[in-house]
């Protein structure tokens, strides 16, 4: 894929080709190897760490005889909308020029879709006129059509956990039974709500149990990110020291989106030689611009949830949120109240919990900027 060169190498949305994509070599190889060898794969990680980027990266470099199709089902609320997202993705991903491509697209057209154009991306959006109960059958037919496609087909379904919110309670059973019968189509199921993804794929009583390989992605390795950042700064004639890069990575907590955001900002106005003061000013400015968002958080939460959020932000990571010490330090009341607020903050995706390499659970605030803002006050 040839991409136009861009003015700022630190992108903060989407995928712009491997030149602007840092590392993930191991993950890319693992995922590609699974798919090429016929194994569907579940991809999980916390938000904004680079799942979608990795999927795009892998789909962009599939072997010649593979076709990649990508759909994000976060905006979908039921099977009918899932069908729309699926057909839209196939419509965009399969070239009409080939005979088998035409066959599939003709079938989609026979379902009488209304085509509109996304005002933001300009890409076509298909809406099918389905009667109640028809969506299931159409999903099956569309996927079965791909069986006769002369290339192997990889379908990446991003934010897959969304199916758990559909009113059709048997969605996972339905999809599982369709998917099971396919030989030519492999899937990537990606999601950020880890407890939901685990529920879908690791619970023996659920249809998707052990139906796919599992890949959990973490923060990008510091060495790899350091050389990526250095490369792009120096490419533009900007000298940046390893200490500065290290400090910036730490400030952004190595969290991909926040690293990209900070680097993008600093790059945009960096002088030829970058001192330590420069990036700090830029970082402080970022926080200031976000203040209005942070105050919004406060309005969305109860007093106790807000206090707990501030406490976790202050600490960075918290291992024992119901411990006497933590509760006393931040005057958080009883362990039961803390547990309730923890749950509420997780549900609102303000905080996340994850495991250390040693298997210990910890809690952190999602928004690194908020964390830094809190810590600077
Ligand atoms: N390996 C990478 N190198 C450079 N930038 C990356 C890389 N991976 C992701 N990014 C960038 O980081 C940001 C977040 O990545 P991405 O959207 O892929 O995360 P995500 O895990 O899918 O997040 P979410 O859970 O919110 O969907 C994006 O701006 C993306 O362009
Ligand atoms: Mg994503």
Please give the distance, rounded to the nearest whole angstrom, from the Cα atom of residue 24 to the centre of ligand 1.
11
- Looking at the CA of residue 15, tell me the nearest atom of ligand 1: 31
Residue 86 lies inside a defined structural domain of this protein: yes
Assign 101 to helix, strand or coil.
Answer: helix
Please tell me the distance from the alpha carbon of residue 210 to that of residue 208, in angstroms, as a whole number.
Answer: 6
Same domain, 43 and 187: yes
Please tell me the distance from the alpha carbon of residue 152 to that of residue 298, in angstroms, as a whole number.
Answer: 49
Please give the distance, rounded to the nearest whole angstrom, from the Cα atom of residue 51 to the centre of ligand 2.
5
Please tell me the distance from the alpha carbon of residue 315 to that of residue 70, in angstroms, as a whole number.
Answer: 38
Same domain, 322 and 182: no
Same domain, 58 and 184: yes
Closest residue CA from atom 15 of ligand 1: 50
Closest residue CA from atom 10 of ligand 1: 50
Of 216, 241, 258, the last residue of a domain is 216
Residue 370 lies inside a defined structural domain of this protein: yes
Please tell me the distance from the alpha carbon of residue 193 to that of residue 352, in angstroms, as a whole number.
Answer: 9
Residue 182 lies inside a defined structural domain of this protein: yes
Closest residue CA from atom 4 of ligand 1: 21
Assign 355 to helix, strand or coil.
Answer: strand
Written as one string, the DSSP assignment of 148-199 is G-SSEEEEEEETGGGGGGSS-TTHHHHHHHHHHT-SSEEEEEEES-HHHHHH
Give pLDDT, residue 97: 80
Residue 239: both structure tokens together: 């000298």
Please give the distance, rounded to the nearest whole angstrom, from the Cα atom of residue 277 to the centre of ligand 2.
33
- Write out the residue range of the structural domain in which residue 340 sits: 301-377
Distances (CA, A) of 256 to 57, 71, 109, 160, 264: 15, 22, 40, 21, 12
- Looking at the CA of residue 14, tell me the nearest atom of ligand 1: 31
Residues (pLDDT < 50) of the chain are 1-3
- Looking at the CA of residue 49, tell me the nearest atom of ligand 1: 21
Contact between residue 289 and residue 262 where contact means Cβ atoms under 8 Å apart: no
Residue 211 lies inside a defined structural domain of this protein: yes
Residue 313 lies inside a defined structural domain of this protein: yes
Overall domain count for the chain: 2
- Angle ∠(165,167,170) on CA atoms, nearest 5: 90
Q: How many CB atoms lie within 10 A of CB 162?
A: 22
Contact between residue 190 and residue 158 where contact means Cβ atoms under 8 Å apart: yes
Contact between residue 53 and residue 15 where contact means Cβ atoms under 8 Å apart: yes
CA neighbor of 1 nearest in space, from 18, 20, 25: 18
Please give the distance, rounded to the nearest whole angstrom, from the Cα atom of residue 257 to the centre of ligand 1.
6
- Looking at the CA of residue 22, tell me the nearest atom of ligand 1: 3
Residue 376: both structure tokens together: 């600077």
Same domain, 131 and 31: yes
Of 171, 190, 216, the last residue of a domain is 216
State pLDDT tens for residues 171-227: 999 999 999 999 999 999 999 888 888 889 888 899 988 888 899 999 999 999 999
Question: Residue 76 maps to which CATH number?
Answer: 3.40.50.300
Same domain, 156 and 48: yes
Residue 163 lies inside a defined structural domain of this protein: yes
Of 191, 216, 241, the last residue of a domain is 216
Same domain, 53 and 202: yes
Give pLDDT, residue 5: 60
Give pLDDT, residue 2: 46
Which of 24, 44, 71, 256, when mutated, tests ligand 1's pocket best, judged by the most ligand atoms within 8 Å of its CB? 256
Question: Residue 355 maps to which CATH number?
Answer: 1.10.10.10
Residue 321 lies inside a defined structural domain of this protein: yes
> What pTM value is reported for the model?
0.93
DSSP H helical ranges for the chain? 25-36, 51-60, 79-93, 99-110, 134-145, 171-180, 194-202, 222-235, 242-251, 256-269, 276-300, 303-315, 324-329, 335-347, 368-375
Please give the distance, rounded to the nearest whole angstrom, from the Cα atom of residue 255 to the centre of ligand 1.
9
Same domain, 165 and 307: no
Read off the DSSP letter of residue 127: E
Give the pocket of ligand 1 (CB within 6 Å). 11-14, 21-24, 45, 47-53, 192, 220, 256-257, 260
Same domain, 211 and 328: no
Mean pLDDT of the chain: 93
Same domain, 198 and 312: no
Which of 53, 55, 263, when mutated, tests ligand 1's pocket best, judged by the most ligand atoms within 8 Å of its CB? 53
Residue 114 lies inside a defined structural domain of this protein: yes
């Amino acid at each position: 894929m040839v991409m136009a060169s861009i003015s700022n190498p630190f992108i903060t949305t989407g995928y712009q080709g491997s030149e602007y994509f840092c590392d993930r070599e191991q993950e890319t190889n693992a995922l590609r190897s699974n798919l090429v060898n016929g194994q569907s794969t579940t991809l999980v990680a916390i938000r904004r760490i680079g799942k979608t980027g990795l999927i795009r990266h892998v789909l962009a470099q599939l072997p010649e005889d593979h076709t990649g199709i990508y759909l994000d089902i976060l905006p979908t609320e039921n099977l009918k909308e899932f069908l729309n997202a699926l057909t839209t993705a196939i419509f965009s991903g399969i070239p009409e020029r080939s005979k088998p491509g035409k066959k599939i697209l003709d079938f989609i057209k026979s379902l009488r879709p209304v085509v509109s154009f996304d005002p933001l991306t300009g890409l076509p959006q298909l809406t099918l006129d389905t009667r109640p109960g028809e969506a299931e059958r159409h999903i099956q037919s569309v996927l079965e059509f791909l069986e006769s496609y002369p290339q192997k087909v990889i379908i990446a379904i991003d934010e897959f956990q969304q199916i758990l919110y559909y009113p059709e309670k048997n969605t996972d059973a339905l999809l599982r039974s369709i998917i099971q019968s396919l030989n030519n189509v492999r899937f990537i199921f990606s999601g950020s709500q880890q407890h939901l993804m685990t529920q879908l794929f690791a619970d023996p009583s659920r249809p998707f149990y052990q139906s796919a390989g599992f890949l959990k992605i973490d923060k990008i390795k510091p060495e790899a990110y350091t050389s990526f950042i250095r490369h792009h700064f120096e490419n533009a004639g900007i000298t940046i020291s390893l200490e500065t890069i290290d400090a910036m990575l730490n400030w952004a907590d190595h969290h991909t989106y926040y690293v990209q955001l900070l680097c993008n900002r600093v790059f945009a106005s960096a002088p030829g030689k970058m001192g330590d003061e420069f990036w700090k000013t830029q970082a402080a400015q970022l926080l200031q611009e976000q203040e209005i968002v942070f105050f919004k958080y406060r309005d969305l939460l109860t007093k106790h949830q807000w206090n707990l959020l501030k406490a976790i932000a202050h600490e960075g990571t918290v291992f024992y949120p119901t411990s006497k010490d933590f509760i006393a330090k931040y005057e958080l009341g009883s362990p039961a109240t803390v547990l309730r607020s923890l749950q509420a903050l997780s549900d609102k995706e303000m905080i996340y919990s994850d495991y250390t390499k040693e298997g210990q659970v910890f809690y952190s605030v999602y928004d690194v900027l908020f964390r830094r803002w809190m810590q600077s006050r």
